[in-house]
Copies of this chain bind each other. A is one copy, B any other.
Amino acid sequence: MKWTQARRAQKMNPSVIREILKVTEKPGIISFAGGLPSPKTFPVSAFSAACEKVLREDGHAALQYAASEGYAPLREMVASMLPWNVDPALVLITTGSQQGLDLIAKVLIDEGSRVLVETPTYLGALQAFTPMEPEIVSVASDDGGVDIADLAAKAEGARFFYVLPNFQNPTGRTMPEERRAALSAEAARLGLPLVEDNPYGDLWFDTPPPLPLTARNPEGCVYLGSFSKVLAPGLRLGFMVAPASIFPKLLQAKQAADLHSPGFNQRLVAEVMKDGFLDRHVPTIRALYKSQRDAMLAAMVREMPEGVEWNTPAGGMFLWVRLPEGMNAIELLPRAVERNVAFVPGWAFYADQPDARTLRLSFVTSSVAQIDIGIAALAGAIREMRAGSSASVAGAAPQLEAQPQT
């Protein structure tokens, strides 16, 4: 039987993160690798009550086919939650915000289209865009996010710039107000559409992040949001807000992709969120993640050898680490796994020219006690590697190198 695959299939690759998760699946490992919210934050009893109520009061409708746009009360809640004037008719409920990236790729990317991303950027976005065969171009970025001059230099003919301004995945960095203002103005000047991804924005620790880019120019931006980090990822619900000029095409792509997102899940989320639930619930997530970030920062200071650098994220889920000159995070991984600790090499998050010294640590999945043990073990692996005994390294590294991401 002759199965001829599409050319784009050759460009698809397994998620490096999922491959790493497999490599690191051993009993007792402390994983800073996956971006998994702490299950402690899932409001299980609120969902249980919502299930009972929705099925009792509205069971037949909740289990029937439904509108591709999404459940109207949920669309209205989303619109009213956002800090700018949003028409609920321009809110599209998606099967996780990952689906929003897939729909954007279908509607906005032709083969060879230039698409701009930050350096580094969210791996899942690279995976969603790649099947539509764009030319993905990395824009230089620093601790405050994208370099505006480099963006302008590369913007000619670009379909959009994909940007994650709040507690970015993978770096944890946040774009400050002045940079946002400058980016928004420059994008408007260039006529460059922005795709703003904001899954982590509510997870701030001390002060809320500055206003989203979309709030500054709704006609020039598509905005992606998620319920995965403030409620639970296992319901697979996110949303997008798009300008009226492209909303109908995104909706048609949504219809063709999965008809609609589960109506039952949409009603559960609407039921749980009513009466200001998030206002009471999200602060508990912030407090938990802040304590874990603090624990990780303290452990880093205590344990890490000289020359290791890291940032201090003001929210979100991730810390970004850079190893000393000459070291490589991919080679470090198997040594760390031997010591029962895992992370994601930063390599996976670059559209081109990876910085092999970087790595991503999630501080949200592990407890403070685990963080203390895990960071000490990681520091031990770094010291060992630095000492130069490279003979014992095997396993994860060659496997990963065989599967470049883009």
Chain A positions near chain B (C-beta within 8 angstroms)? 1-9, 12-15, 18, 34, 36-37, 39, 42, 44, 47-48, 51-52, 55-56, 59-66, 68, 95-96, 98-99, 102, 106-111, 113, 124, 127-128, 130-132, 159, 188, 191-193, 217, 219-220, 228, 232-236, 243, 245-246, 248-249, 251-253, 255-265
Decide yes or no: A37 and B55 within 8 Å by CB, A5-B249, A131-B106, A261-B236 being known contacts: no
Sorted nearest first, the 8 A-B pairs with minimum C-beta distance are: A39-B60, A63-B232, A51-B51, A1-B220, A44-B59, A63-B234, A127-B256, A2-B191
Q: Judging by beta carbons under 8 Å apart, are B4 and A34 in contact? A: no
Q: Judging by beta carbons under 8 Å apart, are B48 and A48 in contact? A: no
- Residues of chain B within 8 A (CB-CB) of A109 are 6
Q: Pick from B44, B62, B228, B256: contact of A12, CB below 8 A.
A: B256
- Residues of chain B within 8 A (CB-CB) of A192 are 2
Give the number of copies in the complex: 2
**Interface SS of A by simple majority:** helix
- Residues of chain B within 8 A (CB-CB) of A245 are 3
Q: Pick from B110, B256, B264: contact of A7, CB below 8 A.
A: B110
Chain B: minimal CB distance from A323 (Å): 27
- Residues of chain B within 8 A (CB-CB) of A228 are 65
Q: Judging by beta carbons under 8 Å apart, are B132 and A6 in contact? A: yes
Chain B: minimal CB distance from A367 (Å): 14
Q: Judging by beta carbons under 8 Å apart, are A102 and B258 in contact? A: yes
CA distance A18 to B251 in the complex (A): 12
Chain B residue at minimal CB-CB distance from A160: B3
Residue with the greatest number of chain B CB neighbours at <10 A, chosen from A64, A113, A131, A248: A64
Q: Judging by beta carbons under 8 Å apart, are A39 and B64 in contact? A: yes
Q: Judging by beta carbons under 8 Å apart, are A42 and B14 in contact? A: no
- Residues of chain B within 8 A (CB-CB) of A15 are 68, 252, 255
Q: Judging by beta carbons under 8 Å apart, are B1 and A217 in contact? A: yes
Q: Pick from B52, B127, B255: contact of A51, CB below 8 A.
A: B52
Q: Judging by beta carbons under 8 Å apart, are A65 and B2 in contact? A: no
Decide yes or no: A55 and B51 within 8 Å by CB, A1-B217, A255-B15, A261-B236 being known contacts: yes
Chain B: minimal CB distance from A217 (Å): 7
CA distance A265 to B192 in the complex (A): 39
Decide yes or no: A48 and B55 within 8 Å by CB, A99-B258, A107-B6, A256-B131 being known contacts: yes
Chain B: minimal CB distance from A396 (Å): 19
CA distance A358 to B244 in the complex (A): 35
Q: Judging by beta carbons under 8 Å apart, are A14 and B252 in contact? A: yes
Decide yes or no: A63 and B39 within 8 Å by CB, A5-B249, A259-B236 being known contacts: yes
CA distance A131 to B265 in the complex (A): 27
Residue with the greatest number of chain B CB neighbours at <10 A, chosen from A7, A110, A255, A265: A255
Chain B: minimal CB distance from A112 (Å): 11
CA distance A159 to B232 in the complex (A): 39
Decide yes or no: A236 and B249 within 8 Å by CB, A6-B110, A52-B52 being known contacts: no
Q: Judging by beta carbons under 8 Å apart, are B60 and A44 in contact? A: yes
> Other than the known A42-B64, A63-B234, what 6 A-B pairs have Cβ atoms closer than 8 Å?
A1-B217, A3-B108, A6-B108, A48-B52, A65-B234, A234-B264
Chain B: minimal CB distance from A162 (Å): 14
